[in-house]
Amino acid sequence: MEAALAPYVAFATKAFAREATYRIEVLTEIGSLVLRVYILRSLWTALYAQNVAPVGLPLHSMITYATVAMLMSLILEVDATRLIREKLREGTIATDLMKPISVPFYFFSDGLGQTALHALLVVPSLLCALLLVRIDVPSPATFAVFLLAFVVGYGVNFFLNFLMNCIAFWTLETFAAQLIVRWASDLLSGQIIPLLFFPGIVGRLVFTLPFAAIYSTPLLIYVGVIPPARWAISIAVQMLWLVLFAALASVVWRAASNRVVIQGG
Amino acid sequence: MRSLFSPEYEERVAVGDVTFALEPGELVGYIGPNGAGKSTTIKMLTGILVPTSGQVRVAGLVPWKSRKENARNIGVVFGQRSQLYWDLPLIDSFELLRAIYAIPPDRYRRNLNEFVDILEMSDFLRTPVRQLSLGQRMRGDFAAALLHGPKVVYLDEPTIGLDVVAKEAIREFIARINAERGATIVLTTHDLADVERLCRRIVLIDRGTLIYDGDVDRIKSEYGRFRTLVVRFSEPVVQPELEGAQLSGLEDSSARFRFDRNLVRADRLVRQASERYSVEDVSLEEPDLESIIRRIYIEGYERRPEEGAS
């Protein structure tokens, strides 16, 4: 078992090291995050002064929501499997397929390595953000459930990106498709605006979409809008999306590897 | 515009009629013009492309049915793309490969030391790959492909873009791997000097079809019957003629005569020339593999060149 895992541990370690070579980029990320936290604080404070607050989400919860969402995005915005489309375009996926490894697991472990590096940024970013805003501290139980929901949401997001990048097997270019899904996800995941703000039937619909599993569910658990009584069902819904997306990813991967076309080879 | 809305797909047979077998330890040149189907064959041999019909076996395995097992037996070098980690020091790629192939530590160290020594890599082992020169990167790629001691090695244009010194170093390394480790090597290249230096046997394909499979020497003697005698006159000659040879080029005061060495002897032609004209210098051109292959690409290979030759 240990020997079977060794290559994947090595992939993750090398991905971590590779990401770490771009130090400036990593540092800019923290700077940009702090700037965005500042903008959002000003924005929400102004909006709340105009009395647009939805029921049950006071300003301090809103600012907490926005700041935690920013910290989550440090990890969730890493397109961990972009390697797929890069390798397809360059034709280097051929050399990976010529190795005695499971190629999807290679991409997964590489993605985990990248994620690990970006996760390291959360604490310094949080410290910087705390110079600008004050955020609510939840109970340990709430925080633990939030972390669980975040991990499941990470999985959903991971497979969503994986599926997007697999489009490259058919088109080699995925920019347009990814942009559309990205916009939809920004809006419908609750990353920028809590889904509570959507009115009427749309408001109910957005909670049933898979995007809600990525940001909205963990964040609403954190700020207490989802009460302990509904923790189990919320995470169960997330899990459902995770299983569904993972199954879809496996089907798509099988179809994709059946039509490996190596460009210019 | 039309192709945007209704893309047209044309079905093409990339590799149709190609049959050959290799003995363990053989080093064979796999040759053909661009688009002949060489890379397609390599893809099928490595298990990443499934043929619509036909059979492929590598060391007893059907590559695409047991891709991972087959991968343990093979090593691949692409001259045009690297398998090394671009941003990381060269040694990191080797360590990764140690994990991928689960190479035992002592064997890893032995192989690595040997390759670092032969390929003179010690100076740049800790340099990020993106900072290496093409020659250094190629040496790194060779080591990467061979660290796990593969039985079968595919080399796809391994000397492309290298300078003469680097080329020779790579050729020497290939010969050495073949001789000392007994690896079976399929060498795809457009540089026929690689083949002349390394291979006894070539497999020649064109448009997905096998057109020659045999000794380099045989193809040379079949096509090499025609030689060229170059004569330089001390003064310009209008229409020089030699019996038994054809004028194939005339430039200033030097003429080229093509002749069949089975029909006329070179020394007779030389004597003839010096009797008729005032000759300053003569030289004889042997056809090299490159010119032979070029003719085959253009005219097609015929089993009996006596009949088809002009």
Q: Are A122 and A71 in contact (CB under 8 A)?
A: yes
| Cα–Cα distance, A236 to A221 (Å, whole number) | 13
Q: Is B61 helix (H, G, I), strand (E, B) or coil?
A: strand
Are residues A17 and B46, on separate chains, in Cβ contact within 8 Å?
Answer: no
CB contacts under 8 A, B 102-131 vs A, are 102, 128
The total of other beta-carbon atoms located within 10 Å of residue B15's CB is 22
Q: Are B187 and B174 in contact (CB under 8 A)?
A: yes
Is B9 domain-assigned? no
Dump strand ranges (E) for chain B: 27-31, 74-78, 152-156, 184-188, 201-206, 209-215, 226-233, 246-251, 254-260, 279-285
Boundary-marking domain end, from B178, B200, B219: B219
Element (H, E) at B310: none
Share of chain A above pLDDT 70, in %: 95
Nearest-CB residue to B48 (from A3, A18, A260): A260
Residue scoring higher pLDDT (A41 or A4)? A41
| Cα–Cα distance, B235 to B252 (Å, whole number) | 9
- Nearest CA distance, B262 vs chain A (angstrom): 43
| Residues B239 and B209 placed together within one structural domain of the fold | no
Nearest-CB residue to B88 (from A17, A102, A260): A17
| Residues B30 and B137 placed together within one structural domain of the fold | yes
| Residues B94 and B232 placed together within one structural domain of the fold | no
Are residues A6 and B50, on separate chains, in Cβ contact within 8 Å?
Answer: no
| Cα–Cα distance, B174 to B162 (Å, whole number) | 15
Nearest-CB residue to A260 (from B49, B72, B99): B49
Q: What is the pLDDT of residue B299?
A: 76
Q: What is the pLDDT of residue B305?
A: 46
Is B198 domain-assigned? yes
What chain B residue is nearest to A10 in terms of C-alpha separation? B96
Tokens of B209: 């079809």
What letter would DSSP give residue A211?
A: G
Provide the terminal-to-terminal Cα distance of chain B, rounded to the nearest Å.
47
What is the torsional sign of CA B300, B302, B305, B306?
A: negative
| Cα–Cα distance, B69 to B63 (Å, whole number) | 8
What is the DSSP pairing of strand B254-260 with strand B246-251? antiparallel
CB of B271 within 8 Å of a chain A CB? The answer is no
Pick the closest to residue B152 from B61, B252, B279 (CA basis). B61
| Cα–Cα distance, B85 to B137 (Å, whole number) | 11
Are residues B88 and A97, on separate chains, in Cβ contact within 8 Å?
Answer: no
Are residues B85 and A18, on separate chains, in Cβ contact within 8 Å?
Answer: yes
| Residues B250 and B177 placed together within one structural domain of the fold | no
Q: Which residues of B touch A262 (CB under 8 A)?
A: 43, 48
Element (H, E) at A38: helix A23-49
Q: What is the pLDDT of residue A112?
A: 92
User: What are the residues facing B58 on neighbouring strands?
Assistant: B61
Backbone angles phi, psi at B209, to 5 degrees: -125, 140
Is B303 domain-assigned? no
| Cα–Cα distance, A87 to A80 (Å, whole number) | 13
Is B209 domain-assigned? yes
Mutual orientation of helices B216-223 and B289-299 as an angle, nearest 10°? 70
Q: Are A50 and A142 in contact (CB under 8 A)?
A: no
- Nearest CA distance, B298 vs chain A (angstrom): 23
Boundary-marking domain end, from B174, B196, B219: B219
Residue A2's pLDDT band (cuts 50, 70, 90): low
| Residues B178 and B269 placed together within one structural domain of the fold | no
Pick the closest to residue B41 from B194, B181, B259, B203 (CA basis). B203
Residue A264's pLDDT band (cuts 50, 70, 90): very low
Q: Which residues of A touch B85 (CB under 8 A)?
A: 14, 18
Q: What is the pLDDT of residue A71?
A: 94
- Nearest CA distance, B147 vs chain A (angstrom): 13
Under-50 pLDDT residues of chain B: 1-3, 304-310
Tokens of B252: 């200033």
Contacts of B136 (CB under 8 A, 6+ apart): B121, B124, B127
A21-53 residue pLDDT tens: 887 887 888 889 999 999 999 999 998 888 766
| Residues B188 and B231 placed together within one structural domain of the fold | no
Is B296 domain-assigned? no
Share of chain B above pLDDT 90, in %: 35
- Tokens 């003697």 — which residue? B221
Contacts of B144 (CB under 8 A, 6+ apart): B83, B84, B93, B94, B97
How many domains would you assign to chain B? 2
Contacts of B268 (CB under 8 A, 6+ apart): B244
Is B119 domain-assigned? yes
Are residues B96 and A10, on separate chains, in Cβ contact within 8 Å?
Answer: yes
Boundary-marking domain end, from B219, B242, B265: B219
Q: Is B89 helix (H, G, I), strand (E, B) or coil?
A: strand
What letter would DSSP give residue A256?
A: H
What letter would DSSP give residue B157?
A: S
Domain of residue B76: give its range: 18-219
Tokens of B26: 């053989």
| Cα–Cα distance, B190 to A128 (Å, whole number) | 58
| Residues B215 and B231 placed together within one structural domain of the fold | no
What chain B residue is nearest to A97 in terms of C-alpha separation? B48
Question: What is the pTM for the complete model shown?
Answer: 0.79
| Residues B70 and B189 placed together within one structural domain of the fold | yes
Burial of B279 (0-12, 13-18, 19+ CB in 10 A): middle
Q: Is A73 helix (H, G, I), strand (E, B) or coil?
A: helix
What is the DSSP pairing of strand B209-215 with strand B254-260? unpaired
| Residues B50 and B134 placed together within one structural domain of the fold | yes
B85-133 residue pLDDT tens: 888 999 999 999 999 999 999 999 999 999 999 999 999 999 999 999 9
| Residues B71 and B129 placed together within one structural domain of the fold | yes
Here the ipTM equals: 0.77
Put the strands of the sheet holding B254-260 in their side by side order: B246-251, B254-260, B226-233, B279-285
Q: Which residues of B touch A90 (CB under 8 A)?
A: 81
The total of other beta-carbon atoms located within 10 Å of residue B9's CB is 5
Backbone angles phi, psi at A193, to 5 degrees: -120, 130
What letter would DSSP give residue B189?
A: -
Find the CATH number of the domain harbouring B176. 3.40.50.300
| Residues B143 and B60 placed together within one structural domain of the fold | yes
Are residues B71 and A100, on separate chains, in Cβ contact within 8 Å?
Answer: yes
Residue A20's pLDDT band (cuts 50, 70, 90): confident
Q: What is the pLDDT of residue B310?
A: 38
Is B67 domain-assigned? yes
Tokens of B211: 């057109």
- Nearest CA distance, B93 vs chain A (angstrom): 9
Chain-centroid distance, C-alpha B308: 26
B284-304 residue pLDDT tens: 887 778 878 887 877 776 654
Q: Which residues of B touch A18 (CB under 8 A)?
A: 85, 87-88
| Residues B232 and B150 placed together within one structural domain of the fold | no
A59-117 residue pLDDT tens: 999 999 999 999 999 999 888 888 888 888 887 888 888 899 988 899 999 999 999 99
- Nearest CA distance, B73 vs chain A (angstrom): 9
Are residues A14 and B43, on separate chains, in Cβ contact within 8 Å?
Answer: no
Are residues B100 and A260, on separate chains, in Cβ contact within 8 Å?
Answer: no
The total of other beta-carbon atoms located within 10 Å of residue B238's CB is 5
Average pLDDT over residues A171-196: 86
Put the strands of the sheet holding B152-156 in their side by side order: B74-78, B152-156, B184-188, B27-31, B201-206, B209-215
Is B280 domain-assigned? yes
